[in-house]
Amino acid sequence: MDSLLTAADGALRTLFAKPRATERTPAHGMAEAELDAAQKKLAGALMRVNHVGEVCAQALYSAQAAVTRDPQLRAHLQTAAQEEMDHLAWTQQRLDALGARPSLLNPLWFAGAFALGLATAKISDRASLGFVVETENQVAAHLQSHLERLPEQDKASRAVVARMKEDEERHAAQARASGALTLPAPARAAMRAAAKVMTTTAHYL
């Protein structure tokens, strides 16, 4: 019950409270670039998609931490969740700086990610970690594509995305080292398809 209450509190904080980072944004001290309207719109849309990814990360890790009975794994998941909360705060800061808004569908994204995290965690801890590995691998690849699309002069957004990519790759490596199962190819393909729907929708909404 305590774990579920903690998860519910995390959901409310993620969706309705201003996220607070424990570490300073990688964009600290960088001047805002002078972007034309199209560049600013693109940067804002990409950072909105990244913000959605961090909303989903909070849901995923909180669901898995609520289910696992392994105290060491729970501590690991909670540490990763705090780092993802930093990402959430950093992407929110970039949205504010770019005059963009978060996705209107964040409650839906959170609920979907929480349900998936809960389902895999109930199978086994190794399956749960396998889901983390595949999720983080896909997110890292997605962030790399954003580095290729963000305006070159928007160094603040690029610094945030580059740091996030490093952290996601580390989370995947840690989960793999902890004994993660390799998900079957159909499951990985389904995750990619779901992510495509989410990112395409969040780009605009």
**Residue among 4, 1, 46, 31 at smallest CA distance from 151:** 46
Residue 84: its H or E element: helix 71-98
Q: Does the reported pTM lie above 0.85?
A: yes
pLDDT at 9 over 70: no
The residue written with tokens 């890292």 in the block is 140
Task: Write the pLDDT tens digit of every residue in 153-175.
Answer: 999 999 999 999 999 999 999 99
Structure tokens at 17: 């409270």
The residue written with tokens 């399956």 in the block is 127
* Domains defined for the chain, CATH in brackets: 2-13+33-204 (1.20.1260.10)
Query: What is the spatial distance between Cα 40 and Cα 23, in angstroms, rounded to a whole number?
Result: 26
pLDDT at 103 over 80: yes
Query: What is the spatial distance between Cα 67 and Cα 55, in angstroms, rounded to a whole number?
Result: 19
Task: Write the pLDDT tens digit of every residue in 21-73.
Answer: 999 999 999 999 999 999 999 999 999 999 999 999 999 998 998 888 899 88
